[in-house]
Structure 1
């Protein structure tokens, strides 16, 4: 970090050095050093003989060297980063001054007469000083001083806004990975480009031969050479195109794989904060844009570089004066390309974001088509998607207008270059400084050079489009997950003792809302524990923490006395199986879903399906275990999906089984059968289940009542019913009273003194896995508010 004082000293030193050297070189505009050489140019100034105008240009550079200091003291240092691009463009224009001035100085002197030493020196120094100006602003002046911006904030800003050049270099690294195919492509590219370089020269020879000699043998020789060159060029072009096309496909695969591999390593909270459609758009549209544009533009860039270099060499040999005319206008074209490229980068990023938004809407609607159809909202969703597409269209319209402006400027400058070369070339021919027959070849090279420059300008535009698409992709690839799986423990056996110790937790996307508050409980090996509580009390959050989807803000989750994060990621998730409230199946066969990521035999798959009461309905399908369940299990009913999910958990033979409303979609009969299978075949397994049905809860060895993120009660069904003032008994009492309204009230048992205790005592005898009326009983069908729980 540089202080204001050091920046002031640096800017002042450069200004003094620039002015001093320019002053000395102007005084050397003669046979010897003299102040008279300076003063005489003021009296008889001429663009064709004076260099005093370069001294005036030096004053402009001095102002730009001292500009940062002025911005610091006027409290406008925040403008410094925005000045880099204008300074770069000004520097490019200053580069063009040197060749322009050289042509003017040699115009009036006899051919072969050298310039003064001071003239050469000031022309070279103007070029060097312009380069120093651009470099100083990029590396020194544009950094905010430490007195204004803390180091940490600057580093954060640099992290958020990647440098465009760094992104381009990183994009090119994907080309480096496929070096074999690129070497092949570049080899054929070099052959193609070299052959194309000779085409203008021999074209000029053909024209000159016809006009000057009118000799058929000379014409035949020139045409023969042209034919051979064209055939070699066509052959090389084909091999070049094939090599690069295959390289594009491999680059596309590499980019998509890197992004997908980076995404699936992220913690679950990342997917809570980012929409699925947006992520899918990054994988599809952005990666495609990156792979196509960067690889294609590398091909075009290298081809034009070779042809540009060859054309410039031929042009310099034909006429260095005419070549300088081209070199004067090239920086001006680069300025236009730079301005447009920077703006195009900004618009490309906005375009990709808009495309991601529209893709997110499409993915959301298509994946929830049944809900959309049930509410007859097809037109509403179509209009919403159309609005997103309209936003993309508006940005694309702006890009199109900007591109029109860029093409106008580019085409006008190319036309101006050709006109300038024609006029100046004709002038040199009339002055007998250039042979007439070489002017034709030079003009052909000039047109080829103009086409090369135009394509290189489009390369920059394409690279900016890639940069715009790559920002978010590289951000996802480089993002380090907040939960890293660095555990290494793989004990030979997991007994299944689970302990939640003083857990405090809130979801990352809602960090201000606490979910669990100092929650503690223990599940012993082989014990079945039911978590009961109102919606939003934190039951499912306990399951998520146990699956290591999130990490607690404070406290620890332990398995067999070891913190969960110390276990090896793949190992512990083979020992823990989860059946969620809304199980998601993959668009694969039933068998593939059951044996997902497990090397299970067909017999084990069938056995698991039988335990989950899924075998019978599977055998009734057309393809049986090879039946495709459809996207997210859309070809199966809710109960069928849950039974397949239960079978998927059972086949893993877990030490810990987590059931989050795993039987909520089953009918009463199927639920009873599945429960019997679970309880009968999971001896020695620790089970945590979340259920709203009393028939599921009452069989648990231990019931934990969670309310507002805290444990309120712990005990079995009978124990909690005896705690008549407890939440659990009040809920059961309220439900039983609600059920009694549908049936004739029964008389309380004789000999009881407290009517409330009489009723509570009879509940344990009355409640059975299936209500006589056939209606599933829900613990959460009543309110958990204090007023409703005690109203009776």
Structure 2
């Protein structure tokens, strides 16, 4: 508020004090000083006084952030000081100046007439507004700044960036060629009024046709190069966003629903790419098609150009406000769309559960509710489009009427010729059309900003996990140590899932981890895979912390199989070899499948190992998926094998085969095994048993030792016997 009050006081001071005072100071100049010099002295003095006042206003408002056009006060002071001297330098007098006046520039300084004072503001306001707008784009304003976004988009071009200067050159020449038709139209108008020869008329038409054809050819080449260049950005941006998501820590995917992430990676990225290939192209073309007519308008009639530019502040402010409205609506629309996608994905991926609980109508109502929210947002977007269209169209019509009225006055007064007026009107229509297109596409670019915000958030997000280390020793024993490990999930940091956990996994031994549900067994397996980092303590592999090992190396040496393993919609051979940097031979794949018990059912399939597993492995049963996942782990020949309830869906023969593999297999001495299971037949033979309860190890030892203690482990073993009672 203080800033705006200060700006109002500056306007009053400019009118009431500077307007009469500064012209009176001209008496200090020598009597023979040129009139143009007198105007420049007045303008520079005005700039100095207003500049000091603006600095005082901004200093007074420093406690509150200076928002919006208040930041344009400094360029406005410069423009007010230079507007009239610049006009005087271009033309000694305008239409309202007396042609025979020895001091023709007198009508230009604002102390002589109120209309000249208004003229200075009419010329200075658009200049200050444009200056402030371009300045806000060019000055970096954090990672979310418009200029930074554009630079990052162009940075995705790589070697293709060298095409940009050629594209801009062709664009400039093509738009310059389009200026030939209005120019020669005005020239022909004056020629016909002056009864010139037919040869001059023919020459003008021919020259205009040649320039127009050349302009069209350059536009064709420029469009082809632009679309090819933008294609590189589209593919590169999709790859960058997906790669950025893959780098995130495990908790990121637990906090963000899969449907929301998928929407950001696919639809939001596609929207940004579309804006790059279409909206940005249109903005570039019409920006150039607006600048060149403006240059020719200034050449033909400075007076009409100033009148035309005086309407620009209104044309700038309205679309800006509508753009903010569109941006907020776009953000809401994408949020509701992502939520509706999540509802649909959850229902479709769990159709057996939905059908078994007869909840089809409930899921349908839930989805319809989300669609109703999207419909309301779409209605608001339609209203914003109508308001934007009407304000832009009506302001353009009023501007055309004003130009024709003032131009007619200038023609009748002899200031310009009829041909010049025709040329100016044609240029003005091109300029106005370009401005209308630019302003109509400005809200669309605001929509792209609403989408790109989340995209750049993904690109800029630093994963909350340590970077990959560099350790990749040629030999690894597989000795694992948990040293006073405590852990709490980031969404509930006050609740420790594991507390001061200390134990060791020895190569050649099977260590069974048992305990009630929720005791933290799967968390132990996740920490051993380096999916999370301990809150306190550390996990060592051969005496080195896990984060110090190179990422790919670590996960070749530490392999895990879960209760519900994730398979991919690829062939079974690709699923077994998943993640290996060097593609294994079919013989190696079959050996791993035989060890896990998967070779039997795979060999009976029509396409064998080339059979597609289906989405998430839905073409296989639960036991078959576990067998394939076990083969995927065994083919790595890991030094540490984690079986997290990986036998729950296996049949009896497959379970016996796994038992033989763990306790009697030829490679049992080369790996340490962490066995998490409810199958007591596998646990009884374990070399070491850890009983986990409430995040701590309350008992440990062999099966015989724990049974003799008759503690927690004994209760778990006896529970199935006492259950029927």
Is the pair's TM-score, using the shorter chain for normalization, greater than 0.5? yes
Tell me the distance in 1 between the aligned counterparts of 2:409 and 2:56.
Answer: 40
Specify every segment of 5 or more residues in structure 1 that has no aligned partner in the other structure, as ranges: 1-6, 35-50, 141-157, 742-792
Rounded Cα–Cα distance in structure 1 between residues aligned with 2:503 and 2:308: 81
- In structure 2, the CA distance between the partners of 1:14 and 1:94, relative to structure 1 (3 Å rule), is closer
**What displacement does 1:322 show?**
1.3
Q: How many pairs does the alignment contain?
A: 688
Q: Does residue 1:460 correspond to 2:436, yes or no?
A: no
8 Å CA contact 1:19–1:59 kept in 2: the answer is no
Structure 2 counterpart of 1:116: 106
| Equivalence for 1:403 | 385
3-state SS in 1 of match to 2:503: strand
Q: Which residue of 2 aligns with 1:728?
A: 713
- Asked if 1 retains the 8 angstrom alpha-carbon contact of 2:538 and 2:545, the reply is yes
Deviation at 1:416, TM superposition (A): 1.5
Give the superposition deviation at 1:248: 2.4
Distance 1:302 1:135 in 2: 19
CA distance in 1 between partners of 2:352 and 2:56 (Å): 66
Alpha-carbon distance in structure 2 between the residues aligned to 1:665 and 1:426: 90
Q: What CA distance in whole angstroms lies between the structure 2 residues aligned with 1:409 and 1:438?
A: 30
Q: How does 1:224-243 map to 2 (within 5 A)?
A: 224-243=206-225
Aligned to 1:29: 23
Counterparts in 2 of 1:377 and 1:247: CA distance versus 1, 3 Å: farther
Task: Check if 1:671 corresponds to 2:665.
Answer: no
Q: 1:642 to 1:91 in 2, by over 3 A?
A: same
1-structure distance, mates of 2:617, 2:438: 51
Report SS of the residue matched to 1:534.
Answer: coil
Report the more deviating stretch, 670-679 or 707-716: 670-679
| 1:510 to 1:390, Cα distance in 2 relative to 1, 3 A | same
Q: Offset of 1:61 from its aligned partner? A: 11
Is the CA contact (8 Å cut-off) linking 1:100 and 1:328 kept in structure 2?
no
Separation in 2, partners of 1:699, 1:687 = 13
Cα distance change on mapping 1:601 and 1:138 into 2, 3 Å:
closer
Q: Deviations over 1:164-205 (max 9, x none)?
A: 454344345446763244345334323321221212222344
Asked if structure 2 preserves the Cα contact closer than 8 Å seen for 1:486 and 1:568, the reply is: yes
Q: Match of 2:673?
A: 687
TM-score normalised per structure 2: 0.85
The worse-fitting range, judged by mean Cα deviation, of 535-544 and 414-423 is 414-423
Q: Is the 8 A contact 1:519 1:711 kept in 2?
A: yes
Please say if residues 96 and 328 of structure 1, whose CA atoms lie closer than 8 Å, have aligned partners that are also in contact.
no
Counterpart pick for 1:560 among 524, 542, 554: 542
Q: CA RMSD in A?
A: 3.9
* Counterpart selection for 2:286 from 272, 293, 304: 304
Q: CA deviation at 1:16?
A: 8.6
Assess, with a 3 A threshold, how the Cα gap between structure 1 residues 231 and 612 changes in structure 2: closer, same or farther: same
Change over 3 Å in CA distance of 1:288–1:225 after alignment to 2: same
| C-alpha deviation, 1:437, in angstroms | 2.1
Deviation string 1:501-542 (CA, Å, 9 cap, x unpaired) is: 111111112223221111111111211011101110000000
Q: Secondary structure at the match of 1:220?
A: helix
Instruction: Please say which of residues 231-240 and 203-212 is displaced more in the overlay.
Output: 203-212
- Please tell me whether the aligned partners of residues 429 and 436 of structure 1 are also in contact (alpha carbons under 8 angstroms): yes
Query: 1:67 & 1:99 partners in 2: Cα distance?
Result: 23
SS in structure 1 at match of 2:99: coil
Structure 2 residue aligned with 1:369: 351
Deviations 1:326-366 (A, max 9, x none): 12112321222322223333333333323322232333333
State the 1:125 CA deviation.
9.6
User: Is the Cα–Cα contact under 8 Å of residues 545 and 551 in structure 1 kept in the other structure?
Assistant: yes
For residue 652 of structure 1, what is the aligned residue in structure 2? 636
Task: Indicate the residue corresponding to 2:35 in structure 1.
Answer: none
Moved more, 673-682 or 487-496: 673-682
CA contact (8 A) 1:192 1:234 kept: yes
- Distance change (3 Å), C-alpha of 1:182 and 1:209: same
Once the two structures are TM-superposed, the CA of residue 13 in structure 1 deviates from its matched residue by 13
Secondary structure in 2 aligned to 1:509?
coil
Q: What pairs up with 1:445-594 in 2 under 5 angstroms?
A: 445-594=427-576
| Distance across 2 between alignment mates of 1:22 and 1:580 | 82
Q: Alpha carbons of 1:198 and 1:707: their partners in 2 closer, same or farther (altered >3 Å)? A: same
Q: CA deviation at 1:320?
A: 1.5
Alignment match, 1:767: none
Superposed, 1:409-424 pairs within 5 Å as 409-424=391-406
CA spacing shift, 1:21–1:108, aligned 2, 3 Å: closer
The 5-angstrom pairing of residues 303-382 of structure 1 reads 303-382=285-364
Name the stretch that deviates more: 126-135 or 692-701: 126-135
Higher deviation after alignment, 24-33 or 395-404: 24-33
Q: Distance in 2 between matches of 1:482 and 1:420?
A: 61
Superposed, 1:16-165 pairs within 5 Å as 23-24=17-18, 26-29=20-23, 32-33=26-27, 66=57, 69=60, 72=63, 77=64, 80=65, 84-87=67-70, 106-111=94-99, 113=101, 114-116=104-106, 119=109, 162-165=144-147
Residue 707 of structure 1, aligned match among 671, 679, 693: 693
The answer to whether the Cα contact below 8 Å between 1:100 and 1:325 also exists between their aligned partners in 2 is no
| Residue pair 1:528, 1:700 contacting (<8 A) in 2 also | yes
2: CA distance between counterparts of 1:276 and 1:288? 18
Q: Output the CA distance in 1 between the equivalents of 2:148 and 2:517.
A: 49
- Per the TM alignment, residue 60 of structure 1 is displaced from its structure 2 partner at its CA by 14
Write the deviation string for residues 755-774 of structure 1: whole angstroms up to 9, x where unpaired: xxxxxxxxxxxxxxxxxxxx
Shift, 1:636, TM fit: 0.6
Kindly tell me: are residues 710 and 257 of structure 1, through their superposed partners in 2, closer, same or farther at Cα, counting changes over 3 Å? same
C-alpha separation between the residues in 1 aligned to 2:429 and 2:355? Answer: 60
Q: Distance in 2 between matches of 1:178 and 1:509?
A: 44
CA distance in 1 between partners of 2:355 and 2:188 (Å): 72
Q: 1:59 to 1:346 in 2, by over 3 A?
A: farther
Aligned partners of 2:24 and 2:401: how far apart in 1? 34
Shift of the alpha carbon at 1:14? 13
What is the rounded CA distance, in whole Å, between the counterparts of 2:157 and 2:314 in structure 1? 30
